[in-house]
Amino acid sequence: MTRYASRLSSPIGAPEPLSLRAIRLILLVAGLAMFPFEPAVAHVKWFAPYIIDAPPQPVTTVIADIWFWIGIALVVIFFAGTRLIEISTWGETIHRGLDRATAFLWNRLDDYVRVTVGAFFVAIFSVGGVYLTPDLKTPSEWVSWLQLLIAGCIFFRPTMPLAGIGIIALWLLALRDYDLFHLFDYLALGVGVAAYLIMEPSKNEALRSHRFEALRWGLAIALMWSSLEKFAYPEWFYPLVEEKPFLTFGMPRDVFIPMAGVAEFTMGFGLLWTPLVRRLSAIALLVIFTAAVWPFGRIDLIGHGLIMAILVAVACDQCRKTRMLPSLKIHIAAIPGGVATALLVFATAYWGLHLTFYGSEYSLQAAPDERATHSYNPDHPHGPRADEGIGAPPTKQ
């Protein structure tokens, strides 16, 4: 048995030819799954000014927003619809169609992941001056050479664990210049990729069988965490939607932003659900991230390159097994409870940790009835702002 055989949870046979009916069904279900999700804007910290220790919008304001609940309701309806199709005779037809369309990657998925992760580190080495993403800037030239070394280690299986350790080291190095709360945005994804690089060359097949799961969980947690910015700091997104109004597709700004936050959070949640839900969530996210490249350009492509590569891997995953809480996730009634639980856990962690790190009093003085959420930037003169620079908190400038 080859090492690739360990990916399959059960024998499903060779994929049947992809019929026109199967193609239509796949497109229909993917379209239904994507219908309630308005395209999310790019990672705001890469393109707009912000102050990380500004007080977030109160949770009570978020849950009082009718558009937040409309988004949640649409998500529950279409996740439930996808699950109904999954348990019907059409479910296996759609899976086999996806298997057929992605078999060329599935058969060499480890090679694909290694090449794309390596290419990502070559790309940020070429850009220079960043730790892991565009907003984590560093003047240290040797950091770029460490990134190139990580890329080199990925292409040799015995040194892949060293690359994984190197990714964690880059995140820890960023702590010299950036607050821990800021770096939480990138912790889960970094740990997921590092875990994959450590597990992939392992001779322990029981451990190795979890490598793609580690990637998927890391990405899902990262998406759910970062989506909360759209609820906590909608003002951060005002410069983007004012400068690129076409992003909202004609929707009012304060309708689009919470809907986009719901989209990002719930599709991240979908990556952790049943096989068809997670594959279609990955496809929907991949379409959204790919569409964002045109308005936001090379920075967005490089910054989201690793995320997009993992989404392709999730869409290709032929495993039909749900390892965590499978007896719960098979029930359609568990979907609203799962979404609600995830929102409660992540929102409590986000607002609670922000309060723990920065307290209830904001260090920069703003007008009594205003929240200063933007650092000074003449290109983005939106709302209350402070004179400190963009990026690290003022104490670390």
pLDDT of residue 103: 87
Q: Give the confidence band of 48 by pLDDT, cuts at 50, 70, 90.
A: low
369: burial class by Cβ within 10 Å (0-12, 13-18, 19+)?
exposed
Residues 6 or more apart whose CB falls under 8 angstroms from that of 279 comprise 95, 98, 314, 315, 317
**3 state SS of 130:** strand
pLDDT at 392 exceeding the cut of 50: no
Neighbours of 249 (CB within 10 A): 9
Lowest mean pLDDT among 154-168, 196-210, 232-246: 232-246
Whole-structure pTM value: 0.80
Mean pLDDT to the nearest integer, 69-81: 90
